[in-house]
Amino acid sequence: MKKRRKRLRVDRILYCLGILVVFVYLVILGISWIINHNIFKSVKEDNLLKTNKTNLKVWTKTINYINENVDEITIKHDGYYIKVNGNYIKNHINLDLNKYTTKINKGSFKNQKGLYIKKNEILDEALNIKLKLPYYLRKNNEVDVYGIKKGEYTLYKGRVKVKDKYISFDTSDDYDDYFITYIPLDSINTKTTLTCYVGDELDISFKFVPSNATNKSITYKASNDLLEIKGSKITAKKKGNTILTIKNIKNNISTDIKITIKGKKKVKEVKKEEEKKYEIVNKDGIYYIEDIMIVNKTYPLPSDYNPGGLSDDFMDAFYEMQAHAELDGIELWIQSGYRSYYTQDIIYNNYVSMDGQNEADTYSSRPGHSEHQSGLAADINNPDESFNGTAAAEWLKNNCYKYGFIVRFPEGKEDSTGYIYESWHLRYVGKEWAKKITESGKSLEEYFGITSRYE
């Protein structure tokens, strides 16, 4: 009897274990079904695929639905969102975003702390990233996003606003990695004294230190009523002495200019500048007139020419212009700056495949002929015809020369420049040349008497 009871007890234990295993399996299966059902429902309703697993594994039904019905799908995982093409979704995708805090001490960075995002499978496919920032970054309410290619750091998105602890930005094929940081402003450098006459519009030039500080917003304040301040425009009203304070409120940085205003200036007769013939010179495969680099359809750059990004002169002038524009309620940012010969080759050929070469040549440069490769040109805000006529476009047309820029492809100058009107494309030539070219009403080609035609 004892042996029989022992066998019965073993049988019962095995029986119970079997039931437990089946129960656990059914629970896991049920949980998996609920999770996958919620994923499928979220995909259908919101184009959002939420998962907490590093390796994506969902119903084949879900993957098939995405591939057949969804052009772009957003994946939510581990505190970030990544938008990808729908046809990218398949099982066993590694969703880890390789991000970590580090300090950069090279170029314009002085041991700068920030969030580094390193290229991997999911980042390589990302169209857009929405990322939760650590406190040391989000407390500033805005950050800069730098794109990294072959060790070179280029400002990609400036002053990206932090919303509910997150930032969002589109990715670019121009970059492999990204560095997100906030750089405080140390000082604003400008002349300490200025003499002018009643009725003069003051030319207030300054430089930010460091030049790549994140927030460079400024305000103007005069010590008395001798100046009239309207946005970025400052006019001398009365004779006397005053102090103009330029301040960055965010970093509590300010500088003063002592201004002496004299009585009305006698107007001198200005002699008309005689037409001058300019000589174009080839230096090591790069064409110049005077000290201006010439890049157009006639005069290309060597394929290996690489200034390492937008020049310091361009960026200093842009930051000054950006600060003044903000005073007038205009927000400016660089949408597309330096491009290498090979990046331009990809862009141009994509346009050719879409519209044909003749059409593409009216709005896109062949590789080697793009001013973007010079490091002296950039597309501002929105490189699209919808930007033409906007408040920002009109502000640039009327003011950019004050900071050394020209609208490179002006309206009505298609025959001389070889390109359609691009109100967003600025070229840095320095203040003196920018003023002369802009006031002449001519394009750069007309002013210097050169052509812009492919051979």
Kindly report, residue by residue over 144-171, the tens digit of the pLDDT.
Answer: 999 998 888 888 888 999 999 999 999 9
Secondary structure (3-state) at 156: strand
- Cα four-point dihedral sign 106, 111, 112, 118: positive
CATH number attached to the domain at 100-181: 2.60.40.1180
- Can you give the pLDDT at residue 8? 55
CATH 2.60.40.1180 domain extents, the chain:
100-181
Question: H helices of 82-134, where?
Answer: 121-125
CATH 2.60.40.1080 domain extents, the chain:
192-262
Q: How far is 67 from 64, CA to CA, in rounded Å?
A: 5
Q: How far is 52 from 31, CA to CA, in rounded Å?
A: 14
CATH 3.30.1380.10 domain extents, the chain:
284-448
- Write out the two tokens for 2: 């004892």
Reported pTM: 0.80
Residue-wise pLDDT for 22-81, tens only, equals 877 777 667 666 666 666 666 667 777 777 778 777 767 767 776 777 788 888 888 888
Could you tell me where the beta strands, DSSP code E, fall in 338-421?
Answer: 377-380, 405-409
128, 141 Cβ separation under 8 angstroms: no
> Would you tell me which CATH number, out of the four given (3.30.1380.10, 3.30.9.90, 3.30.420.40, 3.30.830.10), belongs to the domain 284-448?
3.30.1380.10
Q: Are strands 112-117 and 48-50 parallel, antiparallel or unpaired?
A: unpaired
Q: Mean pLDDT over all residues of the chain?
A: 89
Among 210, 209, 234, CA closest to 221: 234
- Can you give the pLDDT at residue 40? 66
427, 447 Cβ separation under 8 angstroms: no
Q: What is the mean pLDDT of residues 94-100?
A: 88
- Can you give the pLDDT at residue 52? 76
CATH number attached to the domain at 192-262: 2.60.40.1080
